[in-house]
Amino acid sequence: MRIAFIAKRPCVRLGKELNALVPLGHEITLIADGLDITKPYSNFIYCNQPGEFAQAIRLVKDKIDLFVVHNEPTWPVAIVREEAPEAKIVLDYHDSQYWYFPSQEEVMAPNESVRWYEEDYSVAMCDGFVVPSDTCKEELKTRTDRPIVVLPPLCSRSEFRYQGLAWAGGLVSQGGHSIPGLYSRVAEHWRDYTKLYTYLNGKCGIFVYCPRVDEEVFKAHYAPLVTFLGKAVYDTLLDKLGEHSWNLVGNWTEHRVWQFSAPNKFYDALAAGVPSVVFNTQSIIDIIEEEKFGLIVNHPDELLAAWDSHSECRKNLMLKRSKYCMENFIGRVEDLYKTVIAQ
């Protein structure tokens, strides 16, 4: 298939899908405002502004069988539909405000439910969808009757690591963080780890990879609680995660988003060879229960009490994780692409 991947912000998930699709013979043109040179693709067009995306779509539309828009943001769907009215469009829909906010939260106008207009018009213009979890699929089915498939953010088998570069121990936490008061929107509260880190401070090592370590207000808040390991490019992160005893998935602080989330950080930890401790994240809890790749906890004391079980969990992970590689799941996405093209 001749496919255009479109992304205002090309994320790790997009790269994971490229790793699996390109070796299968698909010709993929990446239209985006950035590029990871370690990922495979056939052609690349740099775009940043809406007008540039429109020009790129006009340039390639007669040579493309399917446009796949990776959100967030979601508005590039509208540009594809405007510039190529007959195009077949799939939305790889892994972020949605509907998964962060209850329907009545933060409504400024009386007698109205929350509506996210950018997502609403984009969903209405698409022919099919890829989402990261079953709960995302069930929610999206309330907004569309188009076909939906579930694809977790798995890593390719080629990305699996078998040995950490060193040994650091402790709990590793990677990805975005927020702090109290920095954001007023409740959508950001899911990644405020203050409560968890404060409780564990002095009881275990806490090591954090985060893109915001250069912000002074951020460092001032978290530095007394954790050891910052800085930023890391993705391949280096996979090398380094395996140095730790446990990987954090979810948060002790409950939030609506954990009902829907299928975090990259769990599947990255699988590839890196480190077991996970899981708070509140339903899609991951099911895998942990079945495969014994880590711990499911409601309170940090449960992690501390079972700390040494990381060795047994790591053994299970190393023996069974190949079941959860992208190559074993990408076929369902290919089938969706074929269905949409044939419509």
Token digits of residue 105: 């939260």
pLDDT in tens, 44-101: 999 999 999 999 999 999 999 999 999 989 999 999 999 999 999 999 999 998 888 7
Q: In this structure, are residues 293 and 317 in contact, taking their beta carbons and an 8 Å threshold?
A: yes
Q: How many CA atoms lie within 13 A of 209 on its CB side?
A: 19
Residue 284 contacts by C-beta under 8 Å, 6 or more apart in sequence? 249, 250, 262, 263, 266, 276, 278
Residue 178: pLDDT band with limits 50, 70, 90 = confident
pLDDT of 183 over the 60 cut:
no
Residue 294: what residue type? G
Distance CA 226, CA 208 (A): 7
Which segment of 162-171, 244-253, 308-317, 321-330 scores lowest on mean pLDDT? 162-171
Sheet with 89-92, side-by-side order of all strands = 43-46, 27-32, 2-7, 66-70, 89-92, 128-131, 148-150
Q: Which residues pair with 70 in a beta bridge?
A: 92
Checking phi first, is residue 202 left (phi over 0); if not, alpha (psi -120 to 50) or beta? left
Q: In this structure, are residues 136 and 96 in contact, taking their beta carbons and an 8 Å threshold?
A: yes
pLDDT for position 40: 82
Question: Phi and psi at residue 276, in whole multiples of 5°?
Answer: -115, 145
8-state DSSP, 83? H
Residue 9: pLDDT band with limits 50, 70, 90 = confident
Residue 11: what residue type? C
pLDDT of 194 over the 80 cut:
yes
Q: In this structure, are residues 75 and 115 in contact, taking their beta carbons and an 8 Å threshold?
A: no
Sheet with 246-250, side-by-side order of all strands = 227-230, 206-209, 171-174, 246-250, 276-279, 294-296
Q: Which domains does the chain have, with CATH numbers?
A: 2-156+326-342 (3.40.50.2000), 161-324 (3.40.50.2000)
pLDDT for position 230: 86
Residue 105: pLDDT band with limits 50, 70, 90 = low
Residue 134: pLDDT band with limits 50, 70, 90 = very high
Please give the model's pTM, rounded to 2 decimal places. Answer: 0.92
Distance CA 67, CA 54 (A): 13
Alpha-carbon distances, residue 265 vs 5, 25, 210, 276, 323 (angstroms): 23, 28, 12, 9, 17
Q: In this structure, are residues 165 and 145 in contact, taking their beta carbons and an 8 Å threshold?
A: no
Coil/strand/helix, residue 195: helix
Which segment of 19-33, 38-52, 185-199 scores lowest on mean pLDDT? 185-199
Q: In this structure, are residues 292 and 275 in contact, taking their beta carbons and an 8 Å threshold?
A: no
Which segment of 28-37, 75-84, 143-152, 260-269 scores lowest on mean pLDDT? 28-37
Residue 299 contacts by C-beta under 8 Å, 6 or more apart in sequence? 252
pLDDT above 90 covers a percentage of the chain that reads: 73
Average pLDDT over residues 200-214: 91
pLDDT for position 102: 65
pLDDT in tens, 241-299: 999 999 999 999 888 888 898 999 999 999 999 999 999 998 999 899 999 999 999 99
Q: Indicate the average pLDDT of the chain.
A: 92
Inter-axis angle of helices 330-342 and 12-21, to 10 degrees? 80
Distance CA 189, CA 102 (A): 14
